[in-house]
Chain A
Amino acid sequence: MRLDEFFVTGDPLIYGADVSIALTLIGAIFALTYFKKWKWLWSEWLTTVDHKKLGIMYIIAAVLMLFRGGVDAMLMRAQLTVPDAGFLDAKHYNEIFTTHGTIMIIFMAMPFLIGLINVVVPLQIGARDVAYPFLNAVSFWTFFMGAMLFNISFVIGGSPSAGWTSYVPLAGLELSPGVGQNYYLLGLQIAGIGTLLTGINFLVTILKMRVPSMKLMQMPIFTWSSLITMVIIIFAFPVLTVALALMTFDRLFGSHFFTMMDGGMPMLWANLFWIWGHPEVYIVILPAFGMFSEIISTFARKTIFGYKAMVYSMVIIAGLSFLVWVHHFFTMGAGGAVNSFFSITTMLIAVPTGVKIFNWLFTLYKGRIRFTTAMLWALAFIPNFVIGGVTGVMLAMAAADYQYHNTYFLVAHFHYVLISGTVYACFAGLYFWYPKMFNHRLNERLGKWSFWIFVAGFNLCFFPMYFLGLAGMPRRVYTYGVADGWMSMNVLATFGGLLMGIGFLILVYNIYYSFRYSPRETTGDPWDARTLEWSTPAPVPHYNFAHLPEAKGHDAFWIMKEEIKQGKKPEKKPYKPIHMPSYSGVPVVMSVFFFIAGFGMVFSWNWMSILGLIGVLATMVIRSFDYDKGFYVSVEEIEEHEKTT
């Protein structure tokens, strides 16, 4: 392979990216060396198994990916603003919408939510860590290395360009001969390992690590939503693993699962992809529902309305999520009976979702509402999500879908549910739990600016797309003609996109500004909130709880506070040594080997993939022979901690 095939050449945008990547790397290495932070980076972060630190790393990675995916989005909007624009050519445009979709779902939405789950859920259930802290680190690092592998494609070897759904034959060897599609397959495969492990880890954590007094039906709603999400992950992700593996076999080893000849079946890919893909959208929406429930309940100062209905509706949504996948390709022509079945199951999902919407509204009803930034995101979510949901029911009608399919109507629909559902929740959750993570709040004034600009921009960007879709504009086209008459609404959409970008930049500035100027927290409960994570002091000690808290109902911390108000004195119990797991460098090293193996497979360099896989196996053997039992936090150290906080 020649060097100019290895590096992507010929596009000034790519050269700009090359330079900025090189500068960032050099800058990071320089800063770490200059401030003598290498040891700190290794011993505090790279080897950590602390769920709070892993959660923070997930969120940092997700914000970076949000930036990358957002830049992709801005490039697309720039190209589509006016007819016959020449900013991007067709191939480049295809690559950008592919990476935009993949990154936003797999490397932004999921890790952002999993990051918040990591930080919050063990604290909410009164646990000192997750069930498998080592595995948790493996999860993070495989996600991170998978994401990096996918992301370097645009400067080394070329990006995938067959859409985030990678339908065959377009994604097959004949029509996508480059290495881009291999990056998609291997990057997702490696990150998928981490997601599956997270699923098992948090399912066991929530089932087995709760404080003994917390019954299942007393768990905070966010913990419930996480539990249900983990079950979906456990049964959905193996399907993706297989689907990706089969396409990898097709592309690298000449098998015929999805090929056009020798008996291959292209539609099999679409089925397998969406059997994972539809549950996947519930994986990214259910935790969001959970967060909104916590935030609305806290800032309406009321317990959540219809707790049981909330739980059962999520269980029903999870069950139905496996029964609707064909609605992604009604136009495939599976026949009236099949389409009708999937049409009805899809519409059924609106029922439990509607129950949840009403529960949130009734929680607000007669509440003493505080309009914090987190609450504003939650309040904006309700109407925006309803717009997305109602258009979803329109799309669910198989006959009508023949009209909407593959148009901007669909693009508008899924952005309305994914942005106003997942992204708003990520922002709301970030503002809400930020003091738990960093011991200071994000600035509310900047937060509100960012909120209003982003939400206005979002609606301006995506609402016109419904009408563009009805006017016939197909998705995934890189340009259109003047005569199509789509320009005015595209200009509006681009303007809205710009506002969203500004809103995001204000958020990023807010992180810096609050780091510098926000007052540090003195209590662990800045919002007068209701669940156990707020009973921990600020900053949260690495062992989370000096004494395990007691849960006397959901809103356990609220009950505790009420009891203290009524004069109950918290009894002074002596501290006991606390057992904690040791940090380990094995997960990050193992994941680097995964990266090496993946990179080798992308380019079909067998020596490199074998080397990487040997490394993976070797690190597993090292782990198997590791009988480290962790360590005990001494009573003196606990007393020291509890005094200062």
Chain B
Amino acid sequence: MEAVEHSPNTPLEYQTETGRLNILGFWIFLGAEIALFSTLFATYLVLVGRTADGPGPAELFEISGVLIETFLLLTSSFTCGLAIHYMRNHSLKGVFVWIGITLALGLGFLGFEIYEFVHYIHEGAALTTSAYWSAFFVLVGTHGAHVTLGIGWIILILIQLKQRGLTPDTSRKVFISSLYWHFLDVVWIFIFTAVYLYGMVM
């Protein structure tokens, strides 16, 4: 859609009507995502303690792995913010570097999470073990699936950046994907608290 009136300081992604509409729409989509994760959290909290004959979370959770995951994901949110900073300064190279680091941290997070899941399954706590573990795997797994999808999505955007450079369209896509990435970080903080910390002291 056509460019709309804007001041010289307006960031690239806000310079077109499409940019403004899509960013607002994505914020609303994140609202729906909050409703989705709230439902998963509510389900999880309702099913806490319903471990049937299987192991409980306190027996299996290991704080070190979870802390590494947390550290990787929180740092990636920071580097993602730096990428937007460089985008605002019209530095394509800065965007590539910091998004690259963000993706690497995201992949690291995923690697540790997959390792953690495999470990639990070996210890006899799988999706099919009990209501508690069903809720655990679906809540944490939904977050992990979001991260996976986000990595794939951002790689596609990087290819487009390579092809087209920083335009109102590409920077809109980078900006929206950064909103998504920060959102996943927020969800993780709740998972860290409601699932892991609560699970350790249960």
Contacts and interface: CB of A to CB of B under 8 A. Distances in A.
A426 B173 CA distance: 39
Given A261-B52, A268-B46, A237 B131 contact: no
Given A262-B129, A579-B2, A235 B35 contact: yes
Interface string B15-42: 0000011101100110111011001100
A201 B131 CA distance: 36
A234 B28 contact: yes
Contact of B25 (A201, A246, A265, A630): A201
A624 B160 contact: yes
B185 interface: no
A262 B20 CA distance: 49
A262 B39 contact: no
A272 interface: yes
A256 B132 CA distance: 8
A579 B2 CA distance: 8
B138 A249 contact: yes
A204 B127 contact: no
B35 A238 contact: yes
A629 B129 CA distance: 51
B162 to A, nearest CB: 12
Contacts of A253: 127-128
Contact of A242 (B21, B24, B43): B43
B52 A234 contact: no
Interface in B93-148: 127-132, 134-135, 137-138
B21 to A, nearest CB: 5
A199 B43 CA distance: 24
Interface string A190-224: 00000010011101100110000000000000000
Contacts of A241: 36
A336 interface: no
Nearest to A262: B52
Given A239-B39, A272-B39, A204 B47 contact: no
Nearest to A240: B39
Contacts of A201: 25
Given A246-B43, A263-B50, A579-B2, A234 B24 contact: no
A570 to B, nearest CB: 26
Given A242-B43, A255-B134, A235 B128 contact: no
A441 to B, nearest CB: 35
Interface in B135-191: 135, 137-138, 153, 156-157, 160, 164, 169, 173
B1 interface: yes
Given A238-B32, A245-B138, A255-B138, 11 more contacts: A238-B35, A238-B36, A239-B39, A242-B40, A249-B138, A254-B128, A261-B52, A262-B130, A268-B47, A272-B39, A625-B160
A627 interface: yes
A400 B29 CA distance: 41
A239 B42 CA distance: 11
Given A238-B35, A239-B39, A263 B156 contact: no
A132 interface: yes
B51 interface: yes
Interface in A246-304: 246, 249-250, 253-257, 259, 261-265, 268, 272, 275
Nearest to A234: B32
Q: Is the interface of B mostly helix, strand, loop or mixed?
A: helix
Contacts of A200: 25, 28-29, 32
Contacts of B1: 579, 629-630
Top 4 nearest A-B pairs (CB, nearest first) are A263-B50, A263-B131, A255-B134, A238-B36
A131 interface: yes
Given A249-B127, A255-B128, A265 B134 contact: no
Best-buried of B32, B43, B156 by chain A (most CB within 10 Å)? B32
Given A243-B39, A624-B160, A262 B24 contact: no
A480 B24 CA distance: 56
A13 interface: no
A254 B129 CA distance: 9
Given A204-B24, A204-B25, A235-B32, A256 B130 contact: yes
A621 interface: yes
Best-buried of A201, A246, A256, A629 by chain B (most CB within 10 Å)? A256
Best-buried of A200, A239, A242, A249 by chain B (most CB within 10 Å)? A242
A622 to B, nearest CB: 11
Best-buried of B47, B131, B164, B173 by chain A (most CB within 10 Å)? B131
B47 A265 contact: yes
Given A242-B40, A263-B51, A272-B43, A257 B32 contact: no
Contacts of B24: 204, 207-208
Interface string A176-189: 00000000000000
A203 B131 CA distance: 37
